[in-house]
Amino acid sequence: MAGSETHHDLPLPRFDKGVRLLIVVAPYYRDIAENLVAGACAVAAEASVEVEVAEVPGALEVPTAIRLAQRHGDFDGFVALGCVIRGETTHYETVCNDSSRALSLMGLDGVCIGNGILTVENRDQAVVRADPDGQNKGGGAAAAALHLIALQRRWTGTTKGIGFRPRGEDTLIAGDPQGPKTV
């Protein structure tokens, strides 16, 4: 049973430069969403991180809101929060799979996202997982986003010298009799 397992939590990263974190939450189950946000905000406060919260109608809209904020906002990372409780139809699988897939694809594109969208069988499971003094999955999602931001900052500016060149690097063209030119 997972509830009796012990887990190792990494210490929160510390930042030299301020961090802006956007929490996007689907408050379909308001009490559960509020607990998830409280847990995420507590972890962000512990790391001295600035937080903004945005609400969307449901879990399927969370990835879209994050992508919009990533493109048009000024955030270092994102926390996706919400709850999907299994019902009698296949809608549960659609919402769980599509929201998770969209968040994962953005993550693979370099967007720092902590996924705290609960996918549970019943309300009791959601309540336990959302409890800021219990499993605190909202806080765990915020911590995940902060760790990814720390890694991104650690590795930003390092290049391997092969493959595509990062924006801002010059390309030297050989073969010119007066030496290489920069373009």
Q: Measure the CA–CA gap between 64 and 31, rounded to whole angstroms.
A: 23
User: Cα-flanking dihedrals φ and ψ of residue 110, to 5°?
Assistant: 100, 5
Query: Which residue bears the tokens 């549970």?
Result: 120
- Catalytic, out of 7, 8, 72, 91: 91
Q: Would residue 7 show up in a list of annotated catalytic residues for this protein? A: no
* CB 95, CB 58: distance < 8 Å: yes
Just list the catalytic residues.
91
